[in-house]
Amino acid sequence: MNATPTPPTPRHWLNRTVAGAGLTSALGDFCYETTTVILPGFLAVLGIPAAALGLIEGAADALASFTKMVAGHVADRLGHRKALVVAGYALTPAGQALIALAAGWPLLLAGRLLSWFGKGLRGPLRDAIVVQAVSETTRGRAFGFHRAADTLGAVAGPLLGVALLGWARGLNGVDAAWPFRLVLWLSLVPGVLAALAFLLLVRDPRESPNPALRLMRSLRELPASFKRYLGAVGLFGIGDFSHSLLILAATTLLAPSLGVVRAAQVAGLLYVGRNVVQVLASFPIGALADRIGHRPVLVAGYALGALTAALMALAVLRQVHSVALLAGVFVVAGLYTAVQEALESTVTASMVPAERLSTSYGALGTVNGVAKFVSSAAVGLAWSLHSPAAGFALAAGLMLAGTLAMLRAR
């Protein structure tokens, strides 16, 4: 019988597993975010209608959300978390290759589904490995570091994709789609490196096979307090709209003074700034949570989310044209996203037994995925049927309700 591993001491939170998982996430985001930024243009040169992009992305997000639940349960049953995570990272470049070969929407759909299936497979299991690689008092720092590395890849990936596309267009290609295909093939390199980094650097500190586990029974047996916590996460998530709507609102507000093209460029830079804020804030927020408590900081982060939506609703109502004021909204958005992504997982770990950890992370991922899908649809509908201010006001109300529910959840 194997002895129970000794929990790592707080001073060793930045260990091989945490660093390896951070490097892996950064490389993984390099891979698939590069595709995200060039995919609309690739569809355009292939003559595929814009409606197909919405269907492809919606189907991929839905698959990733539900895969998280099943993946977490399978990992708790089999105890082979690391192998499944490596497989999940390997599926991303495999999906990218299918997209690079595509001449129509079926292969594009297959490639995106394969990549996002891998994303859903790896997410909860990777988080379970990271949280058990550090002591309870240093989880905030570990997840803050990991999310900062992840977001760094999300910032650099689109920038690299745009730069590579500009370079590829200067080469002699066989058709208009050739530059896009070249960038997609090049994006396989960081994707393969991500899988290798996790395989070689990360150690799964605890494997707890339990073949008797059943999914529905495992979900029913999760603590009642955790179910209330998931309810608060889901309620907040229903208001947690896609930040592409922030970009659209900023573009609309700035267009009268800057022109549509210039306004779109500035709004895009504001979003990049939001991501930079998230990178810079993730680790300090995690360290603060380790000192004063993870749940209070998460509640404060949720409150900042409601403030973001309220500020943008007010900006639309007052027709704010100031880049500086709009930048303030994007900064607040970056802060609350840093809190949300770093601490939802650490609070989860404090509420569930170790043998249900992967299943719990799967449930958290599924709740977040479904809520975000509903949110973007609901806020977008309110925007279209009434006004942008109504959409953001609805989001602010739902996020505030989620904040209050989180405050009451014990």
Backbone angles phi, psi at 72, to 5 degrees: -60, -40
Confidence (pLDDT) at 35? 78
137 secondary structure, DSSP code? G
Q: What integer pLDDT is reported at residue 337 of this predicted model? A: 94
What's the pLDDT at 205? Answer: 67
pLDDT on residue 6: 45
pLDDT at 9: 46
What pLDDT sits at residue 410? 66
- CA 234 and chain centroid, separation: 15
Type of residue numbered 318? R
Collapsed DSSP state (helix, strand, coil) of residue 58: helix
**E strand or H helix at 167:** helix 139-169
373: closest CA among 256, 240, 213?
A: 240
pLDDT number for residue 235: 94
Cβ-proximal residues to 179 (8 Å cutoff; 6+ apart), any chain: 165, 168, 169, 171, 173
What is the CA 371 to chain-centroid distance, rounded? Answer: 13
Which portions of the chain are predicted below pLDDT 50? 1-10
Q: Report all structural domains of the chain as residue ranges with CATH numbers, in order of start.
A: 16-201 (1.20.1250.20), 222-408 (1.20.1250.20)
**pLDDT attached to residue 213:** 59
User: What are the helix and strand counts (H, E) for the chain?
Assistant: 15, 0
pLDDT for 241: 81
Q: What is the pLDDT of residues 246-293, one digit of tens each?
A: 888 888 898 888 887 788 778 878 888 888 899 899 999 999 999 999
